[in-house]
């Protein structure tokens, strides 16, 4: 029995190959894979010995030969096939272990030249995979190191791998080559030709709602579990932006919920230009603050709701330093996401072995063309929407200007907000867009004060915020992610002590709500845009 191995991803390769040898397989391999197996102490037959030809043109041609493909494609239950290969001295190949050149990784790096990119296009590999998958009844094809264990178990069955298992591997193999070809076509479509030379241009933007939605992503890792331990889960990405290029420096394996919370923290922290820290629990912020230093911002954010912060997720928009790392590790935190961490910070985090430290530069990800579209599955269908950006609060306000530009904010009450209230309104409004609806949040100029998240009415959202507040809400500014359908929500905010409110406006009872704000002496601004988050 023969097994052909030619892989780019050599994860667990040697162990799997030892298992094949133990089961009586002769190993046939190429180039780098053969070297890796030999270095692991395994005996390997080079493909060139099977074909009678050396690898040619820097490895461009090595497995494209009847001596290889005849051995893979021969149908064992067809005597004419078996006689045909026997007449040519070709031996059957029963197991094919192949995964392809890392084209997606090379394409994601904009520094990769067109010439280098072309050399990452695998020719022999897809041919081997397709041949083995076509003959799945007789050949086991493995393209994913995650399948090594089950493949070994199947080989140990009395009659060998079941037909159902062989078919499942074949389907996975064809999906592997299809995804690979799609990635190549996409990358080459951005190549520009001028004066006989080829250069890489920007990838063409995809329409938000194409006629056919194609989602192409490679599995980066299998996760600890899904939302619950009994659910399996995995992380996929189609590039190296955001969490697709994240480094997990330490800690336990990430779970599905860890990544959802890390994403929620990242989305909120990149709303701020100044040093900012956010604490997230179950995809809702429970603390947000800005300050002159990152460590001060974190401590202020944690103290907004220290009870909820325990076991939470932290996001910061600056590289982590020792002081910030020391503050974070002073209490129990599940995971931290930051653009970078210096050596001193890493040493502090290393004292907390289970804390996950994730480095991901998420600001470019939010601006990346591929992330203007968000996709969510529902039962039997898929929803697509544009990424929500809090653009109306993005431009900073210059308090020294005679007529400061408040972007889309429009004062609708008799009283104008003070400078301090304007700053608090902007912070509250940015945060409200990242809180599950219905949402009402309270803030001062540099930090969140209280959060009412995910309620069925805005009055209840205010009640939750006031119940959870650890400080007096007098003099705060409040933000509601959608309009007030009645004045009762505004009355509740006034009763809590807020003196300024931001809301989209647009209710049929806007005038009633404005009148209520004037009665309470509250300054209210309409933002002109709703930010539901479900």
Token pair of 287 as six digits: 């603390």
Question: In this structure, are residues 492 and 484 in contact, taking their beta carbons and an 8 Å threshold?
Answer: no
221 closest CA partner among 259, 186, 183: 259
Is position 463 annotated as part of the catalytic site? Answer: no
Question: In this structure, are residues 294 and 321 in contact, taking their beta carbons and an 8 Å threshold?
Answer: yes
Instruction: State the catalytic residue, choosing from 10, 252, 282, 468.
Output: 282
Question: In this structure, are residues 479 and 448 in contact, taking their beta carbons and an 8 Å threshold?
Answer: no
Sign of CA dihedral 75, 78, 80, 85: positive
CA dist 18 and 41 (Å) reads 9
CA dihedral 157, 162, 165, 169 (to 10 degrees): 90
Is position 353 annotated as part of the catalytic site? Answer: no
424 closest CA partner among 496, 472, 477: 477
CA dist 304 and 294 (Å) reads 16
CA dist 377 and 384 (Å) reads 9
CA dihedral 121, 217, 109, 192 (to 10 degrees): 60
Where do the H-state alpha helices sit in 256-305? Answer: 256-269, 294-304
Question: In this structure, are residues 484 and 502 in contact, taking their beta carbons and an 8 Å threshold?
Answer: no
Cβ neighbours of residue 194 closer than 8 Å, sequence gap 6 or more: none
How far CA 281 is from CA of 145, 255, 467, in Å, comes to 34, 14, 17
CA dihedral 90, 91, 93, 94 (to 10 degrees): 140
Judged by phi (left if over 0) then psi (alpha if -120 to 50, else beta), residue 115 lies in: alpha
**Chain-centre distance for alpha carbon 127:** 31
In 3-state terms, what secondary structure has residue 231? coil
442 closest CA partner among 520, 496, 510, 523: 496
Instruction: State the catalytic residue, choosing from 10, 134, 252, 463.
Output: 134
Token pair of 463 as six digits: 């009640």
Catalytic residue list = 134, 282
């Amino acid at each position: 029995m023969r097994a052909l191995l030619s892989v780019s991803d050599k994860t667990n390769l040697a162990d799997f190959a030892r298992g094949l040898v133990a089961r009586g397989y002769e190993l046939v391999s190429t180039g780098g894979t053969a070297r890796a197996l030999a270095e692991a102490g395994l005996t390997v037959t080079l493909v060139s010995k099977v074909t009678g030809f050396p690898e040619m043109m820097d490895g461009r041609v090595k497995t494209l030969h009847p001596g290889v493909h005849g051995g893979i494609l021969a149908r064992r239950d067809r005597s004419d096939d078996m006689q045909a290969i026997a007449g040519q001295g070709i031996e059957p190949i029963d197991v094919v272990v192949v995964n392809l050149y890392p084209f997606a990784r090379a394409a994601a790096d904009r520094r990769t030249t067109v010439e280098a990119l072309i050399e990452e296009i695998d020719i022999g590999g897809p041919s081997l995979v397709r041949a083995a998958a076509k003959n799945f009844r007789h050949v086991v094809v493995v393209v994913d190191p995650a399948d090594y264990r089950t493949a070994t178990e199947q080989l140990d069955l009395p009659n060998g791998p079941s037909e159902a298992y062989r078919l499942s591997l074949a389907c996975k193999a064809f999906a592997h080559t299809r995804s690979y070809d799609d990635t190549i076509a996409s990358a080459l479509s951005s190549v520009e030709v001028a004066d006989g030379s080829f250069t890489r241009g920007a990838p063409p933007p995809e329409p938000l709602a194409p006629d056919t939605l194609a989602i192409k992503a490679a599995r980066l890792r299998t996760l600890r579990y899904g939302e619950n331990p009994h659910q399996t889960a995995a992380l996929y990405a189609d590039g190296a932006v955001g969490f697709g290029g994240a480094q997990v420096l330490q800690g336990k394996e990430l779970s599905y919920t860890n990544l959802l919370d890390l994403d929620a923290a990242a989305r909120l922290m990149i709303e701020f230009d100044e040093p900012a820290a956010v604490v997230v629990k179950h995809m809702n912020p429970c603390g947000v603050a800005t300050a002159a230093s990152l460590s001060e911002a974190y401590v202020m954010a944690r103290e907004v709701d220290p009870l909820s912060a325990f076991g939470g997720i932290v996001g910061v928009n600056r590289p982590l330093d020792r002081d910030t790392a020391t503050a974070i590790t002073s209490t129990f935190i599940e995971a931290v996401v930051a653009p970078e961490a210096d050596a001193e910070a890493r040493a502090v985090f290393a004292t907390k072995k289970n804390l996950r430290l994730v480095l991901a530069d998420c600001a470019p990800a939010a601006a990346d063309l591929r992330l203007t579209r968000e996709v969510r599955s529902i039962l039997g269908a898929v929803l697509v929407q544009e990424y929500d950006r809090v653009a109306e609060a993005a431009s900073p306000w210059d308090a020294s200007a005679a007529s400061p530009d408040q972007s889309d904010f429009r004062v609708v009450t008799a009283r104008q907000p003070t400078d301090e209230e304007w700053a608090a309104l902007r912070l509250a409004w940015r945060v409200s867009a990242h809180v599950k609806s219905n949402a009402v949040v309270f803030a001062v100029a540099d930090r969140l004060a209280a959060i009412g998240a995910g309620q069925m009415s805005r009055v209840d959202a205010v009640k939750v915020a006031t119940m959870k507040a650890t400080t007096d809400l007098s003099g705060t500014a409040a933000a509601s992610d959608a309009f007030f359908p009645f004045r009762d929500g505004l009355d509740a905010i006034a009763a809590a002590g807020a003196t300024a409110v931001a809301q989209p406006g647009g209710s049929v009872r806007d005038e009633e709500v404005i009148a209520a704000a004037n009665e309470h002496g509250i300054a209210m601004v309409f933002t002109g845009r709703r930010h539901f988050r479900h």
